[in-house]
Amino acid sequence: MVNLSVQLAPSHPKGLLLANPVMTASGTFGYGIEYSELIDIQRLGAIVCKGTTLKSREGNPQPRLVETASGILNSIGLENIGVEAVIREKAPIWAKWEVPVIANIAGETIDEYKEVALRLESTPGISGIEVNISCPNVASGGMEFGTNPKSAAEVTKVVKSASSLPVLIKLSPNVTDIREIASAVCEAGADAITLVNTLRGMAIDINRYQPSLGNTVGGLSGPAIKPIALYMVYKVAGIVNVPIIGCGSINCAEDALEFLMAGASAVQVGTANLTSPQAALDVLDGIEQFMKKENMKDLKAIVGKARG
Ligand SMILES: Cc1cc2nc3c(=O)[nH]c(=O)nc-3n(C[C@H](O)[C@H](O)[C@H](O)COP(=O)(O)O)c2cc1C
């Protein structure tokens, strides 16, 4: 037997104990309910739901997804059903699941983040909150908060004071020095950090003489961003004391192991879910096989192993 469990909020009174380190990334796994018909979602470490805002949002104009040489650009623009519908329609289903569900939240103002966190308070079926301060394709809010240490800390403080749940802060890679933002949110009370959201990018449709995305700008995910995400995890792991959740083109167990060895305590599978619903479970099985092959009994033996 190998121990794959991981505590993502060790200093929080409620804690956030995962049976294993493999989570699904926000926006790539719907509300989990869609995928529950395709795979055994209860085997996952945790599910992070689509970004949720105070009011429902229609998102950005089409086209909103474009393939690039090694990844995709998306400009969904946080289309979602809004927090009240999540509480009414999704959370009662999550409450019956064994797998913890983490609500990913976003807002255009700091007050909106607070309000969403307050509404989720005491909702059965939600085990934690992941705060998206890193969305690169909305007109206001989102990434603006995550690229400035002061506002990143402010959002963290506000959500922490509004919620009795563990709070994960999801950072943007679109910054000069990720360590500044990571330190700021940790000082403000983040229980864990998710690294990273998408990188800002664009593509041009030369036949239409126009940007390919309806929103012009989008977020790049997939294989192109893995080395950058990995580097950011490595850098931040050297300076913070809270668990880090690595995210950025984790397609197979080898990718996940790289992030764990760089210092991540858990990983999120994102774009890979769009090509294979089984991707996250394959990552999980591969980690377990690696540990058995290496005769490792506990996942903790891998975390940070490449840090020297
Ligand atoms: C279609 C799509 C929608 C996304 N929606 C969200 C979202 O609502 N909230 C969020 O925090 N991240 C969102 N993300 C970012 C992913 O959760 C993840 O951080 C990013 O894609 C990098 O991981 P990957 O390369 O494995 O996809 C989205 C990504 C994609 C591709």
User: What whole-number percentage of the chain has pLDDT above 90?
Assistant: 95
At 59, give phi and psi (nearest 5°).
Answer: 85, -170
Tokens of 13: 């009174």
Closest atom of ligand 1 to CA, residue 130: 11
**Residue minimizing CA distance to atom 10 of ligand 1:** 26
- Which of 66, 113, 221 has most ligand 1 atoms within 8 Å of CB, for mutation? 221
State the pLDDT at residue 54.
97
Cβ contact 166:14 at 8 Å: yes
Express each pLDDT in 218-241 by its tens digit: 999 999 999 999 999 999 999 999
Q: What's the rounded Cα separation, in Å, for the pair 131 and 190?
A: 10
CA quadruple 144, 148, 150, 156: dihedral sign:
positive
Using 50, 70 and 90 to split pLDDT, how confident is the model at 139?
low
State yes or no: pLDDT of 141 exceeds 80: no
Q: Is the CB of 74 under 6 A from ligand 1?
A: yes
Which of 29, 27, 28, 50 is CA-nearest to residue 41? 29
State the pLDDT at residue 308.
79
Express each pLDDT in 233-278 by its tens digit: 999 999 999 999 999 999 999 999 999 999 999 999 999 999 999 9
Express each pLDDT in 154-177 by its tens digit: 999 999 999 999 999 999 999 999
State the pLDDT at residue 137.
66
Q: Tokens 């990143």 identify what position?
A: 152
Q: Is the CB of 248 under 6 A from ligand 1?
A: yes
Q: For residue 197, how far is its CA from the centre of ligand 1 (angstroms)?
A: 6
Q: Is the CB of 78 under 6 A from ligand 1?
A: yes
Comparing 101-105, 139-143, 205-209, 218-222, the range with the smallest average pLDDT is: 139-143
At 157, give phi and psi (nearest 5°).
Answer: -60, -45
SS3 at position 130: strand
- Which of 22, 26, 48 has most ligand 1 atoms within 8 Å of CB, for mutation? 26
State yes or no: pLDDT of 77 exceeds 70: yes
Q: Is the CB of 147 under 6 A from ligand 1?
A: no
Tokens of 153: 């800390």
CA dihedral in degrees (134, 136, 228, 290; nearest 10)? 60
Q: Is the CB of 137 under 6 A from ligand 1?
A: no
State the pLDDT at residue 134.
82
Q: Is the CB of 26 under 6 A from ligand 1?
A: yes
Q: Is the CB of 27 under 6 A from ligand 1?
A: yes
Q: For residue 27, how far is its CA from the centre of ligand 1 (angstroms)?
A: 5
Tokens of 297: 């009994």
Q: For residue 245, how far is its CA from the centre of ligand 1 (angstroms)?
A: 14
Closest atom of ligand 1 to CA, residue 194: 19
The mean pLDDT of 74-101, rounded to a whole number, is 97
CA quadruple 82, 83, 84, 88: dihedral sign:
positive
Closest atom of ligand 1 to CA, residue 51: 8
Closest atom of ligand 1 to CA, residue 196: 19
pTM of the complete model beyond 0.75: yes
Using 50, 70 and 90 to split pLDDT, how confident is the model at 144?
confident
Q: Is the CB of 198 under 6 A from ligand 1?
A: yes
Q: For residue 296, how far is its CA from the centre of ligand 1 (angstroms)?
A: 31
Express each pLDDT in 173-194 by its tens digit: 999 999 999 999 999 999 999 9
Mean pLDDT of the chain: 96
The mean pLDDT of 200-207, rounded to a whole number, is 98
Tokens of 295: 């005769």
Residue 135 annotated as catalytic: yes
State yes or no: pLDDT of 142 exceeds 80: no
SS3 at position 248: coil
Closest atom of ligand 1 to CA, residue 223: 25
Q: Is the CB of 221 under 6 A from ligand 1?
A: yes
CA quadruple 81, 37, 2, 287: dihedral sign:
negative
